[in-house]
A = this chain, B = another copy of it.
Amino acid sequence: MSGFCGLNIKLGIYGESHGKSIGILLDGLPPGLALDLEKITLEMGRRAPGKNILSTARKETDAFEIQSGFFNGYTTGTPLCAVIKNSDQHSKDYSILADKMRPGHADYAGYVRYQGFNDYRGGGQFSGRLTAPLVFAGAIAKQALAQYGIVIGAHILSIADLQEAGFSPMGVADDLLADIAAKSFPVADDVIGQKMQERIVAAKAELNSVGGVIETIVQHMPAGIGAPYFDSLESRLSQALFSVPAVKAVEFGDGFALTAKTGAETNDELHYVDGRVVGYTNHNGGITGGITNGMPVLFRVGIKPTPSISREQRTVSLKEKQDTTLTIVGRHDPCIVQRAVPVIEAVTAWTMWDLLIEAKKWER
């Protein structure tokens, strides 16, 4: 099982890198949500490859075609399926990938899991390309969240050891988030951003790759969203976040840093501001007991360096059952952090929306 997520809005993705198409099926959408397709296209464009020197040369327009569930500009409330055709496929021979397992990739794990039947071309279903439908779903969720006044934004907090300042856990200007989102390299500080990009280019020149950290903030979230235990906001969000390939770490609020502090330092004391209960601080990242407490939801994810590097690496040949080496050729990203930013925002958006709907059930 790998395809369905969500308590109220179920989404399933499908596709392999070199199949006819990839796509998504969304079930449980409300009827009557006006969809601005331009905005969806814009979000898709933020993730799409081939834009600059930092990413793979593979050109995919990522043009989506809605098949169902959308009529006269509005969601109908029936299952919405969107198809994204695979266009720019190299017809080269990929059979080496069925034999020699790329280190750091899912090749070997996938070979065992799928008993050797998986589509190995271009990484098959493990391809980062499968994040395109996630962004599609997120773009719809963002439009729904906008009706609640909720805004989601993310930035590249670090690339390798280069780091810019984190968002204030007390919240930032919505405009700042919009500004960052509009950049092809989404950072707040372009000077540091420039250095980060140079680091990526340098890694590529060295036939190497780098990773980084993405920080996300969800602003204007009402309190009371989530639940303790299995459907805690952290549980639901982390399930979605770890669905994004290359994510290896997730922390909420001060995260691991909390463990080196004391309760007296990190308990977010409370007071009334304009009739609302708010914290003096927000070390908990807006979530206590698995439920939003009205403060901004803040978290960071760690993205590992792209495993596709052009150096010779030691690996195994499954056919010959012996050790060998492999030099991966072809198009790949020396860093996927910048392209992962809209994906992280997307999965955050539909998780939040999904849980907001959960709360709607009990409105009086």
Chain B nearest Cβ from A251, distance in angstroms:
4
Knowing A19-B67, A104-B266, A115-B77, say if A13 contacts B229 (CB, 8 Å).
Answer: yes
Does A291 interact with chain B (Cβ within 8 Å)? yes
Contacts of A318 in B (CB 8 A): 277
Does A50 interact with chain B (Cβ within 8 Å)? no
Does A243 interact with chain B (Cβ within 8 Å)? yes
Which residue on B lies nearest to A357, using beta carbons? B361
In the bound complex, how far is the Cα of B290 from the Cα of A59, in angstroms? Answer: 26
Count of chain A residues near B, Cβ 8 A: 158
From B116, B224, B266, B269, give the contact of A315 (CB < 8 A): B269
Chain B nearest Cβ from A57, distance in angstroms:
18
In the bound complex, how far is the Cα of B5 from the Cα of A128, in angstroms? Answer: 28
Contacts of A148 in B (CB 8 A): none
Chain B nearest Cβ from A106, distance in angstroms:
2
In the bound complex, how far is the Cα of B81 from the Cα of A83, in angstroms? Answer: 10
Contacts of A226 in B (CB 8 A): 109, 113
Does A314 interact with chain B (Cβ within 8 Å)? yes
In the bound complex, how far is the Cα of B19 from the Cα of A66, in angstroms? Answer: 9
From B15, B248, B268, B292, give the contact of A258 (CB < 8 A): B248
Contacts of A63 in B (CB 8 A): none
In the bound complex, how far is the Cα of B272 from the Cα of A108, in angstroms? Answer: 12
CB <8 Å contact, B263 and A255? no
Chain B nearest Cβ from A266, distance in angstroms:
6
Does A190 interact with chain B (Cβ within 8 Å)? no
10 shortest interchain CB distances as A-B pairs:
A106-B289, A112-B224, A104-B267, A249-B251, A209-B263, A2-B227, A109-B291, A234-B242, A238-B238, A3-B27
